[in-house]
Structure 1
Amino acid sequence: MDIFLMLILAVITFICGIICTLVVEFYILKIYVESAPPAKPPGKSLPQGKAELPDELINDIKEDRQHTNRQNLTQGNENLAINLTLQFLFNELRNAERVRLWMYRKLNNEFKELLTQTTTGRLFDSVQ
């Protein structure tokens, strides 16, 4: 019986510790949020030009509208959909630092691969 009482006491103590920890964390967070200075309105944002589709995509859209049958409505639009999606993402994320770094890394890897694994790379090595 003594072990059972010790086990119950340990569980109750554990639960009380969890509750006390959560109360203290909530109190500290509340004080931190209340004492924070008010947020300033954002400064001038970067001027962004009007997003425009390239002429090739506009021509593809016009051709797709003219030549689409009811039977072929779901066929052949995959490349156009991918191009439009990538164009949208480029226009939205071209000023993001994370995307720019990712693009630089991708280009760097592609150039390294080009120089090491293709005949063009061997040609450049022989010229040097």
Structure 2
Amino acid sequence: MDVIIYHNPDCGTSRSAPATIRSAGIEPHVVEYLKTPPSRALLQQSIARMGISVREAVREEAAPYAQLGLDNPALTDDQLLEAMMVHPILINRPIVVTPNNVRLCRPSDLVLHPTPKRSAG
């Protein structure tokens, strides 16, 4: 199985996710997203596949969050995405991508649990 993890090696939660994946016998493709951030389109697609809002994908603990006033509820998804493109540290992590799923793995043990199937409507 091809597994990609968007990872920050300075983050404890992010560091434990690749180890958890490896313990399942899978060698993930690790992308240090601060060095190689995803494109805006890929980030937007990943957020949609995770089934979360753009706001939920923003890391509130990152220093630029408060400085940029990103807690303002009037900000649009486009404005939040732009902030994440300019400051990739704002992308919440780790994000794990498999052929069937994309998941924000906070806490990191979420990597072990399948995402519940969504009903078609």
Flag the structure with higher strand content.
2
Bin for the TM-score computed over the shorter chain: under 0.3
TM-score (normalizing by structure 1): 0.22
TM-score (normalizing by structure 2): 0.23
Q: Quick one: higher RCO (CA 8 Å, sep 6+), 1 or 2?
A: 2
Q: Which protein is bigger by CA-based radius of gyration?
A: 1
Flag the structure with higher helix content.
1
